[in-house]
Amino acid sequence: MKLQDAVICITGASSGIGWAAAKAFDRAGARLSLVARRKERLAELASELRDAIIIPADMSDASHAASMIEETVSHFGRIDILVNNAATIIVSRADETDPDDLHRAFAANLVGPLVAVNTALPHMRRQGYGHIINVGSPGFLIGVPCYTSYVCSKAAMSAWTRTIQAEWADTGIMVSEYFPGYIKTDSPPESKYAGVEQSLVIDPDANAVTRFFTRPKSADDVAGQLVKLARKPRLLKHSGVFVPLGAVLSLIPRIRLSIARDMAVSVRKRLGLSIFSTED
């Protein structure tokens, strides 16, 4: 697809992947609808772009997820591509994961995108074309320690993405899944623990296999790949060869556990945690 003057809605645009993607799509000539909770950050970003509107919204609120699509169509007259990038990440030991945190993660990482897609679908059908890009996570294949709500909700997102890929095959509505792996951005996760950084699970002293699969890429790397994916849609795209290789290795339980166990050790060491809360 040609991106010149294409209308693209990007969620989570106030930082990280969303911010970088907005700039990359702007360079490609797209018109942009920028969605995130932080209005001032969106305004700052939009001021640097050619043709962009800002829509302050919380993707965990279904009404916001629906209205952002309608506002986009009302302003531009159409919506060509929806990039579901926004995500809620909450760091918590599994035995301390609160049901409310699970509900918030599923609301933002699954329900919000689902509502946005279902709202965009009638507009895309009338156009005869549309492209959904769901930014997922391969973390559920490994089982990232202390990211229970995130990996569970992202696993559900993948299941939904693949379901609509099957249902909408040959309709002119493309649905893509993008697996970025570990990306180094300026967006720290939520946590009740002190000192949580995005590199929480990365241990420079871990074995070579674990270090290999936790090497970060930058948000700019991902942005460039999202532009390529928009130009040439495909069902599944990874940020690098290590992601599909990791997916294959995750099918070997001993290797999967070895990688995830090293991550768990790194997390406990950095946060000063024991394995179970009863030991604290």
User: How does DSSP classify residue 188?
Assistant: P
Picking from 43, 5, 49, the residue whose alpha carbon sits closest to that of residue 23 is 49
Catalytic residue among 150, 178, 182, 193: 150
Q: With both helix axes pointing from N to C terminus, report the angle between 16-27 and 39-46 in degrees, rounded to the nearest 10.
A: 20
b/e map of 145-181 (b: 16 or more CB within 10 Å)? Answer: bbbbbbbbbbbbbbebbbebbeebeeeebbbbbbbbb
Has 129 been annotated as catalytic? no
Query: What pairing do the DSSP bridges indicate for beta strands 130-135 and 81-84?
Result: parallel
Other residues' Cβ atoms within 10 Å of the Cβ of residue 222 = 24
Concatenated DSSP letters for 92-154?
A: B-GGG--HHHHHHHHIIIIIHHHHHHHHHHHHHHHHT-EEEEEE--THHHHT-TTBHHHHHHH
CA–CA separation, 256 and 232 (whole Å): 32
Catalytic residue positions, numbered: 150
